[in-house]
Amino acid sequence: MSKPNLVIFDLDNTILKGDSDYSMINYLIENNFLGKSAEKRNEKFMNEYINGKLDMSEYTKFTLSAYVGKTQQEIDEIIRPFIKTIIEPMINVFALKLIHDHKDKGDELLLASATNELIVNPIARRLDFKSAISTKVEFINGKCTGFFLHPLTIGSGKFHAVKSWMEEHKYSNFLGTIFYSDSINDLPLLESVEMPKVVNPDIRLEKIANKRGWEIINLPKI
């Protein structure tokens, strides 16, 4: 019996109408888990991300700084209302329809994000993804250290993480595989799948998609 087609979704600016990490930092500032000085750093990192020049290692340490010394349960208590009040309205209903259409076809769905697992895992549960790839967070003696575990799931790191997941789940190659993404940072994986689908792309990715004849999907953000 053949395996179902694999369909991979990026999260930020693909399923969501914005960036979950960026929004989480603003939420932490507004709720006094981080100081106001974090706002400028957040803007700087986001501009670097948009331009494909982000030092993801530095950014991930920055995004985890509010959780240092906290248990998973304590972190969940911070993130739970964030998912409800901030992430829920960010979910693009048109992206949600794409997800549901693939489920109805019996496809295997995989969420793949560069964002850390503390945020991605509850969003994956909300979206009913059984499998999700994200940047892993280090805990020692039950408490968050503020460090991440390699690999960072951005660029080639996301490609290799997806490849490892595929091997574990008996997918021998990318034939029949679809990947939805908005970002130039996902180019290594977009170049590898059989059917790259570019969603509301950044300028650099749009140019590449047009040149290579990749499908471009412009989802309304309402």
139-162 residue pLDDT tens: 999 999 999 998 899 999 999 999
Whether 76 is a known active-site residue: answer no
Whether 12 is a known active-site residue: answer yes
Phi and psi angles of residue 54, each rounded to the nearest 5 degrees, phi first: -75, 135
Residue 55: the pLDDT is 86
Question: How confident is the model over 61-79, as a mean pLDDT?
Answer: 96
Query: Could you tell me the residue ranges of all domains in the chain?
Result: 6-217
CA distance 113 to 53: 17
For the domain bounded by 6-217, which CATH number is listed? 3.40.50.1000
3-state secondary structure of 214: coil
Question: How confident is the model over 176-186, as a mean pLDDT?
Answer: 95
Write out pLDDT tens, residues 79-130. Answer: 999 999 999 999 999 999 999 999 999 999 999 999 999 999 999 999 999 9
Residue found by looking up tokens 């170049």 in the block: 191
Question: Which stretches within the chain are classed as H helix?
Answer: 20-30, 38-50, 56-64, 72-82, 88-90, 93-105, 117-126, 156-168, 187-190, 203-212
CA distance 217 to 116: 26
Residue of 12, 19, 21, 202 marked catalytic: 12
CA distance 180 to 221: 16
Phi and psi angles of residue 120, each rounded to the nearest 5 degrees, phi first: -65, -45
DSSP type of residue 184: G
Calculate the average pLDDT of the chain.
Answer: 94
DSSP type of residue 91: B
CA Rg, the chain, in Å? 17
Residues 6+ apart with CB under 8 A from 139: 72, 145
Lowest-confidence segment of 6-15, 30-39, 190-199 by average pLDDT: 30-39
| Confidence tier at 57 by pLDDT (50, 70, 90) | confident
- Greatest Cα pair distance in the chain: 56
Residue 47: the pLDDT is 86
Residue 22: the pLDDT is 92
Sign of the alpha-carbon torsion through 120, 96, 105, 199: negative
Question: How confident is the model over 22-36, as a mean pLDDT?
Answer: 94
Question: How confident is the model over 34-55, as a mean pLDDT?
Answer: 86
pLDDT for 2 beyond 80 = no
Question: How confident is the model over 172-189, as a mean pLDDT?
Answer: 95
Percent of all residues in the chain with a pLDDT value above 90, rounded to a whole number: 87
